[in-house]
């Protein structure tokens, strides 16, 4: 005797559950944060006149010094905007301390990007 097979209908409920779980997984594993860019140029002191007196910033893990005066990183922007030569092109030399992370340097460069007339140059070992 031959048994007749009965065709079963596919259940759409399980397919919808799988699609929902995949959607949920990809939504939770994705990041929606926006990454910003830091513009760097290869020319040292580009855009600053040759006779301009440079500013000197020493970046350390805990604080920052501007021409030897220690301050917090957040106060550096206000100090640079309050200088007498504000708005004029002026080179800014940045020396890095021993325990400075790349994130701390990126924070400084982002802060300097919003100040007109500053031409930063990061000093390094040669």
Encode pLDDT of 55-92 as tens digits. 899 998 888 999 889 998 888 888 888 877 766 778 88
In the chain, the percentage of residues whose pLDDT exceeds 70 is 79
pLDDT of residue 42: 55
User: Is 107:69 a contact under the CB 8 Å cutoff?
Assistant: no
Domain boundaries, the chain: 55-122
Going by their DSSP bridges, the two strands 64-66 and 55-59 should be labelled as antiparallel
Q: What is the mean pLDDT of residues 26-43?
A: 72
pLDDT at 126 exceeding the cut of 60:
no
- Cα–Cα distance, 30 to 24 (Å, whole number): 10
Q: How many CA atoms lie within 13 A of 64 on its CB side?
A: 22
Q: What is the mean pLDDT of residues 26-44?
A: 71
pLDDT of residue 2: 65
pTM of the model: 0.61
């Amino acid at each position: 005797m031959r048994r007749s097979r009965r065709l079963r209908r596919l259940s759409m409920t399980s397919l919808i559950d799988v699609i929902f779980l995949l959607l949920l997984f990809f939504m939770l594993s994705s990041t929606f944060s926006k990454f910003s860019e830091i513009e760097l140029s290869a020319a040292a002191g580009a855009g600053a006149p040759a006779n301009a007196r440079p500013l000197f910033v020493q970046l350390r893990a805990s604080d920052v010094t501007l021409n030897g005066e220690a301050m917090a990183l957040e106060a550096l922007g206000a100090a640079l905007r309050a200088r007498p030569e504000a708005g004029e092109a002026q080179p800014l030399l940045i020396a890095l301390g021993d325990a400075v992370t790349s994130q701390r340097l990126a924070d400084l460069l982002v802060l300097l990007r919003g100040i007109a007339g500053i031409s930063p140059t990061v000093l390094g070992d040669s």
